[in-house]
Structure 1
Amino acid sequence: MKKAVQVVGAALCAALLLAGCSNVTLPTVAGDSTSSQTSSEKKTVVSQSPSSAADSKAAASSQAEVSSENANDRGSGDEGPVNTISTDSEAFNKKFKNNPIDERYASEMSTLITTTDIVELTGKFTSLWNKEITHAMEELKAKLETTDAEKWSKIQADQKKWEDGKAAAIEEIGKSVQTGGSVARVTTATKVMEYYRARAAALYRILYDYEPDFTYAYTK
């Protein structure tokens, strides 16, 4: 896994803050469509560490009351193949850190060498995180639609803002990629996956307050 992680790490370090990415193809997310999903009216801070300025701008423009604190991009790759998600709840952080999607991603990533394979795998897991967003919203709806209609309405409105800003946020991620070719493809695919993953984490953080033992849509 270390070799694959180092490939992703090197790719991420190679890409920061440059407008224009004509050689970059943004990944397609299966099942991605506008829907009524969102976060809470109270502030839930989701910190992705390490991350990038592009992630910060994308998150700020599209995640309403969810914010991302950004540090440096991956360096040696010792942090693992995904960003660390931090919120105001250490218990939630621990639960999310052990989610089965990241575990599977790390396992499959450990077998890959070529950038093409890494991009394809990352696109696959972007789609999985998109499904988690939908699942988290379904669970929140079940918990709140009848018991707290006002809060559920705010959650829906916030998610609509995220959905409406998603295309621009992903475009901004693409524009932040400095290099071209295979390195840019790996960097872009990884950042887009993390964008969806952070959104899912924000929604699950809300759900955690109502159902600490929540389960993910993904099953091993």
Structure 2
Amino acid sequence: MTVSIIRFGGSNCDRDAERALEHLGIDAEIVWHEDGLPEETTGVVLPGGFSYGDYLRAGAMAARAPIMDDVREAAADGTPVLGVCNGAQVGCESGLTEGAFTTNRSARFQCEHVYLRVERDDTPWTAHYDEGEVIEVPIAHGEGRYEIDDDRLDALEDDNRVLFRYCDEDGETGPAVNPNGSKHNVAGVLGERETVAVLMPHPERATLPDIGSTDGQGVLRGFESAETGV
């Protein structure tokens, strides 16, 4: 399997994702957005960064890059797709998932470690965790507040498509442990297929043992789980 990591102008977490995946024994390569998805692609990462300088809205311009047609087609065919931070913004803007990410409640860029509660353990991205488990991963964003209208949020909740919520170390949610003001403390959601997910925190930055927490490894192992089934 080869995971294609899409590099847009302004991406800056593509190498982090490549190194993290290869540490887990998952073959990965960086693909320039103008080149299209390679035929051997068996997974896609939309990495973090500031694609096109976050002009218009974060992720809006990258979402309209021609390669995203390839990504949407691959996702519809069941290829696992993971959007992280700016990649989550691109994923929402391109219609891979519901909702949008907008300016943090603080109106400031925030870079810190946060706790996430695993909302379900029967998806490729959470199969290596237990439901209700609390993991620690970093965030680094200025536009990470998840927004969606109430009716669609209710439908998202009813369909059990929330993957992670911001919480405290005991798994309790609420405004005090919501770093950016996301509705219902949402940190990550699924697309219509469980093989498609976006999340604002950075699992690739919590994967290598020599730089701290390895709590994010389970998310990236979703590429293995999607291949074998959950």
Please give the TM-score of this superposition, normalised by the length of structure 1: 0.31
* Larger proportion of strand: 2
* Larger proportion of helix: 1
Higher CA-based Rg: 1
Please give the TM-score of this superposition, normalised by the length of structure 2: 0.30
